């Protein structure tokens, strides 16, 4: 038994019976389950510590502000940023990327500038750039993939040019599991003078982030993918760049002085955090990041890799299963279809067996286009899964195939 087997007990969702049976939760790439320390932290704040931040003159308000800023420091350490000022709290990776596209993009992009994306991007790292492209006249370019779902380096070399103003790419594909070589891509972008934006939504639950070692300009992620609460996300930005960026939204907390004639703005990060934030979520993000630290990346990766390899090997033995993405070195997820059977039907049979997976395009429709499918079945693994989960999953897939063929 791997030491990670003990992790299961930390997640109350898994202790219940659903339809009289154990839940096989294989949808962590959509959202990770929450461990007790996170649940308890949210509850503690709401029960006994409720107060707004950055404005009160009383005990609870001071305390809430302190916890809020401690969480910012925890995120700073988690991504290895230079300073807490480089950490902006948003409501999720999606909002982080929209903030960036609007705040940085509207000022810095001009007609015929190029925004370079990749074929494997989530819609959250496509649509905000399209919107700012429409506003500024900038153009979207796309790096294509190799047949096994890796970034095509030759295509990258062709598409990166002095016209490229921003290269925005995912550290990890939510559909294929591909892990991109972030440091290498950042340095290629820097060589042509482009800024770099890394979508870390799928990366943060299983990998160490080091924004300084990578030299990346911006990094975005969501709390709920890393055992944290909903409604909190992060945008890391290099201080020099954040200082030069205008606000994204106007309102309370983001101002220095307001008159009807004009408003001057607060310093970063507060300039980008208008209004009352999701305080309990920000505060409970800290125990989520600490939870990862309790196991360490090496143990997490070893455990999850064992599960994903077992799942892949088992799927290969089921005739008609088509697997997508690289066969090794991926995030802990498998994406597949069964030839001739609709992915939604497979999902339904799996659900009847209490195996929770995601089916569909996974918010990566441009990727579906080149894969030649409308959707896939995606099973994703985390610290709380075990080999029995994989066996039940494989049995359910075999059953789905038998019933639907």
Question: Burial level of 259, CB count in 10 A (0-12/13-18/19+)?
Answer: exposed
- What's the min distance (Å) between Cβ of 335 and ligand PMP? 12
The answer to the question of residue 76 lying near ligand PMP (CB under 6 A) is no
Which of the stretches 6-14, 64-72, 195-203, 247-255 binds ligand PMP when contact is defined by CB under 6 A? 195-203
Residue 235 makes contact with ligand PMP by CB under 6 A: no
Burial category of 23 from C-beta neighbours within 10 Å (exposed 0-12, middle 13-18, buried 19 and up): middle
Stretch of residues binding ligand PMP (CB under 6 A), selected from 20-28, 87-95, 210-218, 327-335: 87-95
Listed ranges 122-130, 288-296, 300-308, 395-403: which one lies at the site for ligand PMP (CB under 6 A): 122-130
Enumerate the active-site residues: 363
Q: Does residue 222 belong to the site contacting ligand PMP (CB under 6 A)?
A: yes
CA distances from 367 to 53, 121, 185, 364, 377 (A): 42, 8, 20, 5, 14
Distance CA 220, CA 200 (A): 5
Contact status: 164 vs ligand PMP (CB under 6 A): no
Interaction of residue 27 with ligand PMP, rule CB under 6 A: no
Q: Could you say whether residue 282 binds ligand PMP (CB under 6 A)?
A: no
CB closer to ligand PMP out of 122 and 401? 122
Q: Give yes or no for residue 93 binding ligand PMP (CB under 6 A).
A: yes
Per CB under 6 A, does 178 bind ligand PMP?
no
Q: Mark 345-374 with x for binding to ligand PMP (rule: CB under 6 A) and - for no binding.
A: ------------------x-----------
Q: Provide the minimum distance between the beta carbon of 148 and ligand PMP in the complex, in angstroms, as a whole number.
A: 19
Tell me which of 92, 128, 237, 247 binds ligand PMP, using CB under 6 A.
92
204 contacts ligand PMP (rule: CB under 6 A): no
Judged by CB under 6 A, the residue of 103, 180, 196, 202 near ligand PMP is 202
Q: Interface residues with ligand PMP (CB under 6 A)?
A: 92-94, 122, 124-125, 170, 174, 199, 201-202, 222, 363
């Amino acid at each position: 038994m791997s030491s990670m087997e003990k992790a299961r007990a930390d997640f109350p969702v898994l202790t219940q019976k659903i339809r009289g049976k154990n839940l096989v939760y294989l949808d962590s790439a959509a959202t990770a389950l929450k461990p007790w320390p996170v649940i308890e932290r949210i509850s503690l704040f709401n029960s006994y510590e409720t107060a707004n931040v950055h404005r009160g003159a009383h005990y609870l308000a001071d305390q809430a502000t302190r916890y809020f800023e401690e969480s910012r420091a925890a995120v700073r350490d988690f991504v290895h940023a230079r300073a807490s000022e480089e950490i902006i709290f948003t409501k999720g990776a999606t909002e982080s990327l929209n903030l960036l596209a609007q705040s940085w993009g509207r000022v810095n992009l001009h007609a015929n500038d190029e925004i370079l994306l990749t074929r494997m991007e989530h819609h959250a790292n496509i649509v905000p750039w399209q919107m700012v492209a429409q506003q500024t006249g900038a153009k979207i370019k796309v790096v294509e993939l190799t047949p096994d779902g890796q970034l095509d380096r030759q295509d990258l070399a062709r598409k990166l040019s002095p016209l490229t103003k921003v290269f925005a790419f995912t550290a990890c594909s939510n559909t294929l599991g591909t892990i991109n070589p972030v440091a290498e891509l950042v340095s290629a972008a820097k060589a042509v003078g482009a800024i770099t934006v890394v979508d870390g939504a799928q990366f943060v639950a299983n990998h160490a982030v080091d924004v300084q070692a990578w030299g990346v300009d911006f990094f975005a992620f969501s709390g709920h993918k890393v055992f944290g609460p909903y409604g909190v996300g992060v945008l890391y930005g290099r201080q020099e760049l954040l200082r030069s960026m205008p606000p994204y939204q106007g309102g309370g907390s983001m101002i220095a002085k307001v008159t009807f004639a004009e408003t001057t703005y607060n310093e970063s990060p507060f300039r980008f955090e208008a209004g009352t934030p999701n305080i309990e979520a920000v505060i409970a993000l800290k125990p989520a990041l600490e939870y990862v630290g309790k196991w360490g990346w090496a143990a997490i990766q070893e455990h999850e890799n064992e599960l994903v390899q077992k799942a892949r090997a088992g799927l290969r033995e089921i005739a008609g299963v088509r697997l997508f993405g690289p066969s090794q070195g991926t995030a802990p997820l498998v994406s597949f279809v069964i030839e001739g059977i609709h992915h939604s039907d497979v999902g339904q049979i799996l659900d009847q067996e209490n195996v929770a997976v995601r089916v569909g395009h996974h918010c990566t429709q441009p990727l579906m286009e080149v894969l030649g499918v409308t959707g896939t079945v995606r099973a994703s693994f985390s610290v709380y899964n075990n080999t029995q989960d994989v066996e039940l999953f494989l049995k359910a897939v075999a059953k789905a195939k038998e019933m639907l063929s």
